């Protein structure tokens, strides 16, 4: 993290997520919950971080809850969906199913599970959530 300004790691049964993006590029940290190899998830996250830092969206608004391209190799679309991870707000990276679908209702069920626990696209990104703080149905312990 000292050299790159950010890091990512995997948690068994949870997924792969980043730390350090708010300070590095003013974006929320990211998470991938699809159960893919941690190296692949880290590569996807690294590509997105690079796009955040130098790509066309650098510093600009980031579309939430809708398919966007230009963030991962091969031009595949992804969706950035607000979510809560532990005591912080993150953007969950929703990856397409093998047929390229991102709509939860149309996706292969194993891929649609990525949407579980996401918040509406209009949800504010809160940063850290303090014990006792509430956000809609969520209450931090």
**What does pTM read for this prediction?**
0.82
CA-CA-CA-CA torsion sign (122, 124, 125, 128): negative
- The pLDDT of residue 134 is above 50: no
- What's the average model confidence in pLDDT over 10-20? 92
Radius of gyration of the chain (CA): 14
For the segment 78-91, the average pLDDT, to the nearest whole number, is 91
Pairing of strands 30-32, 134-135: unpaired
Share of the chain above pLDDT 90, in %: 51
Q: Is the pLDDT of residue 56 over 70?
A: no
* Predicted confidence (pLDDT) at residue 116 exceeds the cutoff of 60: yes
Domain coordinates in residue numbering, the chain: 7-139
pLDDT at position 130 is 47
Q: State both tokens at 73.
A: 């190799």
Unique residue bearing structure tokens 């931090």: 140
Structure tokens at 65: 């809850």
Question: 103 pLDDT band (50/70/90 cuts)?
Answer: very high
Alpha helical stretches, state H, the chain = 21-25, 38-54, 109-112
pLDDT for residue 59 is more than 80: no
pLDDT, position 48: 93
Round the average pLDDT of the chain to a whole number and report it. 83
Beta bridge partners of 118: 83
pLDDT on residue 9:
92
- Asked if pLDDT for residue 82 goes beyond 70, the answer is yes
CA distance 92 to 18: 11
């Amino acid at each position: 993290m000292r050299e790159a300004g950010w890091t990512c790691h995997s948690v068994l049964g949870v997924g792969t997520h980043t730390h350090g993006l708010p300070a590095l590029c003013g974006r929320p940290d990211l998470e991938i919950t699809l159960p893919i190899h941690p190296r692949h998830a880290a590569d996807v996250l690294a590509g997105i971080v690079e796009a955040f830092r130098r790509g066309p969206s650098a510093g600009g608004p980031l579309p939430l809850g809708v398919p966007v391209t230009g963030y991962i190799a091969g031009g595949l679309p992804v969706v950035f969906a607000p979510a809560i991870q532990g005591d912080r707000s993150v953007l969950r990276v929703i990856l397409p199913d093998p047929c390229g679908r991102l709509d939860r209702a149309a996706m292969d069920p194993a891929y649609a599970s990525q949407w579980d626990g996401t918040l509406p696209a209009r949800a504010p990104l809160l940063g850290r959530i303090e014990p006792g703080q509430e956000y809609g149905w969520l209450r931090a312990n």
